[in-house]
Amino acid sequence: MTRSVRAVAALALLALTGCAETGSGGPGGGTGTTAAVPTWLGGKGMNATMFSTLKPGVYEPSTLAVGQEKDITLHRAEGFGFVRSAALEQYLNETRARLVAVSGKTNVPGRVIILADQTYGAVTTPDGNTYVTLGFIEALESDDEVAALLAHETSHELLKHHNSDILGDMQKKGQSLLELGMGAKAALAGHGAMGKSDTRTVQEAQLAGMATDKLVLPAWSRGQEREADFLGLDLLVESQQSAPAMMGVLEKLQAWEKASAESEQAFTGRLTQASQHNLNEAADVVYQKLLSGASVNHPKTEERISDTAQYLEKFYGSRELAEPKTAAWKAVRARPEVAQVLRNYKAAFAARRLYEQGKAQESYAMAKTALNGRQLTDAYPNWVFSDAAFALGRSGEGFAALRRAIASPEPVAVIYEDLITRNEQTNSLRTALEVCDTASRVFGGAPRFIPPKIRVLRKMGRTAEAESLTVSCSLNTPDFKRLCQQANQTPAGNVQR
């Protein structure tokens, strides 16, 4: 068995066993005890509260922080843009502020931003900004559940978990440099391709990189998730919120994961098919599985629930816990402005799903209901409506909606991508290039627009510029390396300036 095959086999086993090294605490878990966090993952939470390890004082920003506003601009380019609702944002930010206040840390940066996304997700960046999907916000049922979600996210920031990303980042950049160096060496020697030993060196570096990226860092990350659950729980107790709400949020996440997971059978089928195709693709499938945590049988969230319950019992079991409260959250959701946002985006999400299912007529009707009040000028609902309108041949309405979407104060990156593609299709390459540059400017130089620019430059015959951009993309934004390299394979067209 070759090294690559062994690596894929080992990863497949790991994926299918669902990270079995940690104990099962779920229903029918038998005698399994909840997993103590390994010491190498910073398992101090099991001997003392995470809260007791926090030193009060001025918060030191992460070394990976890029600046709060730049961070927001960059994240605007990921996904479908932001949802603006002053009352909702104010509620979320006040809740976060209360949690930060009890932490004892001062000058903690960041704010809460709502993503136009129907899935369940929340992330916190090194700049302290917390991005929460509207889908997740909609699912929260009490003041305490809102606080629990934000307490978990704020804990990542307070515990400086982002600093561990430096390892993966440096390794990826090092790998890109190695590949470029080997390629340059081959070119200087007059060979079109790398020698056997160089190829092996690059493959070994790639495997090491993949191992770090897909195994070490996710494992590290799992330990950090537990720490954030634990500190989040401490913050809830300290701020007089109902601590069991943390389990409530995790239960919702677990239910959503189950509802959205692909079956094990489908996964195995996909893996078999991919491995017949090529090994890298098979490895990719396995990695996606490992990372997704979305398998029905994957114990990740179930373990987190057990661990958090165990932690709550151990450190707060003898305390009188606060009862959950719903009044403030219900009140903010009932405010006309908030209710309208929630209702209209729900309709827009539903319309998008209908469109993806090929039901253009239903999508069109549903999207139309989302376009009222302030959402008449929001980018996402207009974009959804434009797609449905174009699909029905109503291009006038489609273009009008796209114009409203582009003019929205909260731009959405996919709209620019649509425009680039439409211009490429009609061979308006100069306009496509202009849209690439505009999009890059609007979204703070977001790397997402580098691959389409490389593609357009190649079509315009400007291959040297495309090559140079590919090199800089590989070095500076390793996550986009593959996409940039793929774009650089686009057949070169006649030179256009």
Q: Is 356 in the site for other proteins (CB under 8 A)?
A: yes
Q: How far is the CB of 299 from other proteins (least distance, A)?
A: 13
Q: Which of residues 238 and 302 has its CB atom nearest to other proteins in the complex?
A: 302
Q: Is 161 in the site for other proteins (CB under 8 A)?
A: yes
- Say how many residues make up the chain: 497
* C-alpha–C-alpha distance, residues 98 and 329, integer Å: 15
Nearest distance, CB of residue 342 and other proteins, angstroms: 11
- Minimum CB separation of residue 156 from other proteins in Å reads 4
**Region 431-490 residues binding other proteins, contact defined as CB under 8 A:** 447-448, 477, 479-480, 483
User: What would the two tokens of residue 97 be?
Assistant: 């502020």
φ and ψ of 123, to 5 deg: -135, 150
Backbone angles phi, psi at 176, to 5 degrees: -60, -40
Number of residues forming the site for other proteins (CB under 8 A): 88
Q: Which of 9, 19, 38, 165 binds other proteins (CB under 8 A)?
A: 165
CA 40 to CA 294: how far, in whole Å? Answer: 25
Complex with other proteins: residue 119 or 199, whichever CB lies closer: 119
CB of 1 to other proteins, least distance (A): 28
Q: Residue 411, interface with other proteins (CB under 8 A)? A: no
Q: Could you tell me the smallest distance in angstroms from the CB atom of residue 56 to other proteins?
A: 22
**CB of 77 or CB of 435, closer to other proteins:** 77
- Under rule CB under 8 A, which residues in 122-151 are in contact with other proteins? 122-126, 131, 133, 135-136, 138-139, 149
Site string for other proteins, 280-319 (x = CB under 8 A): --------x--xxxx----------xx--xx-xx------
- Three-class HEC string of 381-426: HHHHHHHHHHHCCCHHHHHHHHHHHHHCCCCCHHHHHHHHHHHHHC
- Quick check: helix, strand or coil at residue 25? coil
- Picking from 114, 84, 74, the residue whose alpha carbon sits closest to that of residue 96 is 114
Return the ∠ at Cα 464 (arms to 460 and 468), rounded to 5°.
115
Nearest approach, Cβ of residue 81 and other proteins (Å): 11
Q: Which is nearer to other proteins, 194 or 256 (CB)?
A: 256
Smallest gap from Cβ 467 to other proteins, in A, equals 22
Binder among 169, 180, 187, 331 for other proteins (CB under 8 A): 169
Site for other proteins in 225-254 (CB under 8 A): 225, 228, 242-244, 247, 249, 251-254
Indicate the DSSP class of residue 105: E
The CA distance from 226 to 218, in Å, is 12
CB of 217 to other proteins, least distance (A): 9
**Residue among 192, 323, 409, 494 that touches other proteins (CB under 8 A):** 323
Place of tokens 């774009």: 487
Distances in Å between the Cα of 257 and the Cα atoms of 66, 76, 120, 264, 286 are 32, 25, 9, 13, 18
The residue (of 453 and 462) whose beta carbon lies closer to other proteins is: 453
Nearest to 366 by CA among 345, 353, 387, 350: 350
Annotate each residue in 80-99 with x if it binds other proteins (CB under 8 A) or - if it does not, as one string.
Answer: x-------------------
CA distance 399 to 219: 47
Contact between 85 and 338 (Cβ < 8 Å): yes
